[in-house]
Amino acid sequence: MITPKNIKKSPKAPSSKPHSSRNTASSSKTRIVIKNKVSQKRDISEHFGVSKSGSRTNSSKIHSGINRKSSKNSYLTNNTKIQNNSSNLIMQTAPPTAAQARERTMRTSGHSRKDRNQLKDSLSQDSVNDELETNESNASLAPKQSAIPSKIEIMESIQIGNLAKKMNLRPNEIIGRLMRMGEMVTINKSIDAETVTLLAADYNCEVKVVSLYDDTLIKEENRLVEEEIERPPIVTIMGHVDHGKTMLLDTIRTSKVIDTEAGAITQHIGAYQVDTNGNKITFLDTPGHEAFSAMRVRGASVTDIVILVVAADDGVKQQTIEAIAHAREAKVPIIVAVNKIDLPDANLENVKKALSEHGLAAEDWGGDTVYCPISAKENKGIDELLKAILLQAEMLNLKANPKMRATGYVLEANVDLGKGSMATILLNNGTLNEGDIFVVGSCSGRIRAIYNDIGKSIKTALPSTPVKITGIDSIPETGDPFQVVENEKYGREVASKRQHYKQINSVTEAGQPSLDDLGSWVKTHKELKVIIKTDVQGTVEAIQDGIQRLSTKDVKVRVVHGATGAISESDVNLGLASHSIIIGFQVRATQRVSDLAERSGVDIKYYNVIYNIIDDIKQSMEGLLEPERIEEITGTLEVRQVFKISKFGNIAGCMVISGNINRNNTMRVIRDGIVIYTGNIKSLRRLKEDVTEVKEGFECGIAFENFNDLKEKDQLENFHIKEVARKL
């Protein structure tokens, strides 16, 4: 008997055609596949009782011959498929399921129809089991979606992709939900916190909005109570403009700061430290002008005590009330210093009465607010004011730990030509040393030099000390937190992350209006573009805040760029490209830059008093407004008789009832209280002579252009349109 093992195939003659390496490899792979299939069939046959080397019936031989023939055809077909598309090899070589193997064996094993029917149910059940196993396998391989958190923290804006990660959702699901809300977004677009709150509410997820510095919080050292010592109080002087705040500080410091301020008005936050009988007090002098609201907010937020200066002859003003609101928001005590009591029209009682209406009742009136009558010019009452400050500081029990790494806030920042970027820092804890590595806002650096309030170089600075530092890689913003860190690498990582978040927020704040909205706005609105260059960073914010509040629904002010330093050629080029005016506050442009601006047609304006900027910007905005058109009636007439002239038309014989009638004005015909015609005068005559004006009480004849429907008793109005400049 011949078995498959005993069959010897005769070697084939070598082909005359050269074979490629690809065809040879493909053929060898196919032979391996067929060999594997034959082996599988043998194992299955043994499982169903078919002998591996047993005798075969005639039908088995016939089937075997057919199978050999079909195997040959299958080999040729498989070889062709593999040559055409090698990727099909994986599908063809996939092992069959148990049901498929049994069915294939039944066809080739020679079993009867009865045997096949008996195994029909078994094959069906195996197919079901195979499908269940496949589904379970696919389910186990599919990624499991995590539960949506009950609370997330975001900043003022967040990208769709980052929001999806925080909420454990697919970005497509969030995009689809926002589209149903009417927001056309992509995975890289940022949305504001309000939109995120509405979206998260559908998933029962609470949203907490945190600031940039909360999200990139630098871990502070453990504060040991036993190492704390008393620190000097930080006192902010606030009040209305020209009420004597800087004069009071000059009297305390015996200096002349007011002489260095333009217009005798404070333009920056001044930080100074004085020594009174061995006790140090740190003073912050904030501007009183309305444009410096942002500076007053910063001054109140870093202070321990607020000195509210009120002029005895002027009383409570708008900025006085605003200063009270800032102090209450910061939850700091207020000491009222009533200045200028040496003037003849000073009235202390009126000041107390006005301030009591705002919750600042004097102690002698049954309240808890300390009032100190002073005269900064005559140096009266200053000692009593300093004693009141020290007494209030003692009650507050102000302490700090000098052994910790220094922390504080930025009061001002500017660029010095010789020293680079500089910042005025008010320390609230720890000790600052030369060489310390720090992070301030989105900037970082190493302390190169430290200067005190009088410009003297020092090596270290204790808490509550205002200092000026150098060594910053860029200009920080006023109000940014300052913190010394362990190493330079960590400081750069924190600063880089904050810069990245700021860029995302700036893109979101810029907005993405649709073309239709933008086109309709441009048709009906005007825009004034401004570039601001100042000496310190705090003034940039103050000017920007002041002029942006001038924006109305008809005219908008947009700050294209704001920075510190001298006006450069790049500023002029930006002004040329954006059609902006350049405002220089206590900075100047070189002669070369001035010539470039003159050739380019870019307007540069210089200022040293901030409210002059506000006034000029307001006038420029008013110039962009369309004038208001007002109708002015110059005279009225009554038709007494109508004359019909065939070649000329109807002529109205009229009497001037009031005013004067001007031929160049427009005429209106009124009949029974209804206007039936408005148009121009064709002819105006008086005693057969053409005239340009007829006065009250005289008769005249009037003909109209393209209108002849005139009747007696018609009322005529002579008027013209007057254009009046609009005001903001």
CB 232 within 8 A of CB 277: no
C-alpha–C-alpha distance, residues 429 and 74, integer Å? 86
Measured from the Cβ of residue 666, the count of other Cβ atoms closer than 10 Å reads 16
Any residues with CB less than 8 A from the CB of 606 and at least 6 apart, and which?
584, 585, 587, 588
> Per-residue pLDDT for 17 more than 50?
no
Query: What is the average pLDDT score of the chain?
Result: 75
- The token pair that represents 114 in the structure block: 């009865």
Q: Identify the weakest region by mean pLDDT among 12-26, 245-259, 308-322, 678-692.
A: 12-26
- Residue 194: per-residue pLDDT: 84
Nearest alpha-carbon partner for 710 in 636, 655, 640, 656: 640
Query: Is residue 553 very low, low, confident or very high in pLDDT (cuts 50, 70, 90)?
Result: confident
Would the pLDDT of 77 be above 50? Answer: no
Q: Give me the pLDDT at residue 321, please.
A: 85
DSSP letter (8 states) at residue 377: T
**Could you give the angle at which helices 98-108 and 21-47 cross, rounded to 10 degrees?**
80
pLDDT tens, position by position, 465-475: 889 999 998 88
Share of the chain above pLDDT 90, in %: 12
Backbone CA torsion sign across 662, 663, 664, 669: positive
3-state SS, residue 150: coil
- For the chain, helix, strand, coil in percent to 5 are 40, 30, 30
Quote the CA–CA distance of 462 and 282 in Å, as a whole number. 12
Query: Mean of the pLDDT values across residues 118-138?
Result: 51
Best mean pLDDT range from 9-23, 263-277, 283-297, 407-421: 407-421
What was the pLDDT predicted at 291? Answer: 39
Give residue 648's pLDDT band: very low, low, confident or very high (50, 70, 90). Answer: confident
pLDDT in tens, 677-707: 999 888 898 888 889 899 998 999 998 888 8
CA separation for the pair 528, 510 (Å, rounded): 17
d(CA 425, CA 471): 13
Residue 462 tokens read as: 């204790």
Share of the chain above pLDDT 70, in %: 71
pLDDT (average), residues 441-465: 89
The whole-number pLDDT of residue 129 equals 53
Per-range mean pLDDT, top range of 220-224, 351-355, 514-518 = 351-355
Tokens 């709150």 belong to residue: 197
* Residue 227 confidence (pLDDT) above 60: yes
Q: Which long-range contacts (CB under 8 A, 24 or more apart) does 711-714 make?
A: 711/639, 711/642, 711/671, 712/639, 712/640, 712/641, 712/642, 713/638, 713/639, 714/638, 714/639, 714/652, 714/669, 714/670, 714/671
Q: How far apart are CA 185 and CA 188, in angstroms?
A: 8
> Residue 348: pLDDT above 60?
yes
Which residue's entry shows tokens 């047993």?
54
Query: Does the pLDDT value for residue 43 go beyond 70?
Result: no
The tokens describing 436, both together, are: 């310390």
Please name the residue that has the structure tokens 């598309």.
85
For residue 265, give the nearest of 248, 283, 244 by alpha carbon.
244
More confident residue, 188 or 463: 463
Tell me the average pLDDT across 357-370.
Answer: 87
Burial annotation 302-316 (CB, 10 A radius, 16+ → b, else e): bbbbbbbbbbbbbbb
What is the mean pLDDT of the segment spanning 125-152?
Answer: 57
Q: How far apart are alpha carbons 724 and 626 in whole angstroms?
A: 9
pLDDT at 110: 52
Say yes or no to pLDDT of 450 above 90.
yes
| Phi, then psi, of 541 in degrees rounded to 5 | -65, -40
